[in-house]
Amino acid sequence: MNCKEALPLIHEYLDGDLQGAETLQLKEHLISCTACHALFRELERTDAIVRSLPSVHVSDTLTAQIMSGLPPMKKRNVWTEWIRRHPAVSVAVVFAAVMFGSFMSMWNDDKNLMVKGSDLQDVVIQGDTVIVPQGHTVNGDLVVQRGKLQVDGDVTGNLTVIDGSLNLASTAHISGQVTQVDEAISWIWYKLNEFVGMLSK
């Protein structure tokens, strides 16, 4: 047995946990090794001193004083804990808020007339008024934003007017849906549908 192996056995012996052949091996090592023997005597004396000390009874008053001296525990915010446990939902909410703010600023900032469609050669624009003349046909969807739309002819797709007015003549024929978007919330819904439509193509 070497000194490294003897040290834990010395502690076990002093605690009263060492038995059998290991006790015999430890005693043989302590007889042959003066350094371990001196250490054993020191630890034995320390152990005896500690055992001779009177047991100290900690009163409830002392415990209460120590506990009252400690800083108060911080109350955990339920929402903060929930956000920490669900980071993906938090990111999605922040993204939605940013997108909503962006759409709202676009709704309020843009005051220019915008006309969008795949076939605009028969469309007449006069100031802020977009006219589909009688006897002419616009093939595909037609979107007019921030203007007045007057339809006297035909539109073979959907017709959308955003933040503007629509005037359909008795001669007008629309083969698709007619949608008017006059509120920011409806416009955001329209933009989301448009985005989803672009993704599905």
CA-based torsion, 98, 103, 106, 108: positive or negative: negative
Each residue of 82-104: pLDDT tens digit? Answer: 777 878 887 888 887 887 777 66
Strands 159-162 and 178-181: parallel
Residue-level pLDDT at 32: 92
Q: How many CB atoms lie within 10 A of CB 152?
A: 17
List the structure tokens of 110.
């843009």
Distances (CA, A) of 45 to 30, 39, 179, 188: 16, 10, 96, 83
Domain identity same for 6 and 52 = yes
Where does the pLDDT of residue 38 fall: very low under 50, low under 70, confident under 90, or very high at 90 and above? Answer: very high
**C-alpha span between 144 and 116 (Å, rounded):** 6
Domain identity same for 128 and 162 = yes
Provide the CATH number for the domain around residue 8.
1.10.10
Q: Which domain does 95 fall in, by range?
A: 78-107
Domain identity same for 49 and 24 = yes
Residue-level pLDDT at 42: 92
**C-alpha span between 3 and 36 (Å, rounded):** 7
**% pLDDT > 90, the chain:** 8
Q: How many domains does the chain have?
A: 3
Domain identity same for 53 and 98 = no
pTM: 0.41
Where does the pLDDT of residue 182 fall: very low under 50, low under 70, confident under 90, or very high at 90 and above? Answer: confident
Instruction: Please measure the distance between the N-terminal and C-terminal CA atoms of the chain and give it in whole angstroms.
Output: 80
Q: Is the pLDDT of residue 188 over 80?
A: no
